[in-house]
Amino acid sequence: MSVATTALVLIVEDDRMIAESTGNYLESRGFEVDYAADGSEGLRLASENRYDAILMDGNLPRLDGLQVVRSLRTDARVSTPILMVTGRNTLEDKLEGLETGVDDYLTKPFAAQELEARLRAIIRRNRKEVASQVLHVADLSYDPMSMIVTRAGRRIDLSPVASKLLNILMRESPRVVSRKEIERELWGDDLPDSDSLRSHLYNLRKHIDKGFDRPLLHTVQSAGYRLADIDAPLSGAHQSAAVEA
């Protein structure tokens, strides 16, 4: 089983051997990995960066795992899916973790294959990559399973890269998605030349917007790209930066 799109995972683990072996395995499976050796560093990295998932040890120096999760959910408002890896395996421990904001639990010792499977599952759920999830933005729809794209009932044929690009933008709509995020998810570390993404965006815009009453794909100056009805509100600091490409 290969990774369909690259995912960036933060491992928060104070045991260096566990962190290295887990990180090496995930990297061999196509993931990108960041590390934090204690709870405070994990909280800082998770608050400042956008990860696809966080692998959180339960017992950490400086701040324990649940304290980090609580701070991320309530203070930093970070919604990144979190897989808690811990030796605590009682029902009470699991319920406390789930109520705090943990998305899934894995008890030590664990098999690397199960860890990978659970990470993939919470990432898919967060990306809305489930079989029944057809994405909609205004009159544009995309079925990730069949890769069928329609707008106003008209079938649109896209290349595989354009389909992945559309999936990312529709999945995150109406959020502005940065160029870096898109490139990482499409190509991982094997980035093509600097004009490739621009070319793919141009072709995607031509297919989904040309011939329709109003455009849905917008360039947000110095921020990234956004797929949305122009009347939908922008989020956060990007509100004043939106311009049509």
Give the lowest-confidence range in 51-55, 85-89, 121-125.
Answer: 85-89
Write down the pLDDT at residue 240.
Answer: 32
Write down the pLDDT at residue 172.
Answer: 86
Give the lowest-confidence range in 15-19, 200-204, 232-236.
Answer: 232-236
Give the lowest-confidence range in 10-14, 58-62, 106-110.
Answer: 106-110
Write down the pLDDT at residue 127.
Answer: 75
Give the lowest-confidence range in 115-124, 142-151, 189-198.
Answer: 189-198
Q: Could you give all domains of the chain from N- to C-terminal order, each with its CATH number? A: 8-126 (3.40.50.2300), 135-238 (1.10.10.10)
pLDDT band at 160 (very low <50, low <70, confident <90, very high): confident
Write down the pLDDT at residue 129.
Answer: 58
Alpha-carbon gap, residue 245 to 231, rounded angstroms: 16
Q: Is the pLDDT of residue 238 over 60?
A: no
Question: Strand 135-137's sheet: what is its strand order?
Answer: 135-137, 140-143, 148-151, 154-156
Nearest to 68 by CA among 6, 145, 13: 13
Give me the mean pLDDT over the 53-82 stretch. 91
The DSSP element (H or E) to which 181 belongs, if any, is helix 179-187
C-alpha separations of 222 from 49, 177, 241, 243 in Å: 18, 11, 8, 10
pLDDT tens across 93-133, in order? 777 888 888 888 888 888 999 999 889 888 887 876 555 57
Q: Is the pLDDT of residue 177 over 60?
A: yes
Quote the pTM value. Answer: 0.58
Give the lowest-confidence range in 131-145, 197-211, 221-235.
Answer: 221-235
Collect all residues with Cβ–Cβ distance below 8 Å to 51 and sequence separation of at least 6: 8, 9, 10, 34, 80
Nearest to 174 by CA among 129, 130, 131, 223: 223
Nearest to 7 by CA among 56, 65, 50: 50
pLDDT band at 43 (very low <50, low <70, confident <90, very high): very high
Q: Is the pLDDT of residue 159 over 90?
A: no
pLDDT band at 20 (very low <50, low <70, confident <90, very high): very high
- How much is the mean pLDDT over the chain? 84
Alpha-carbon gap, residue 50 to 72, rounded angstroms: 12
Q: Is the pLDDT of residue 186 over 60?
A: yes
Write down the pLDDT at residue 189.
Answer: 61
Count of other CB atoms within 10 angstroms of residue 25:
15
Output 194 or 9, whichever has higher pLDDT: 9
Give me the mean pLDDT over the 133-155 stretch. 88
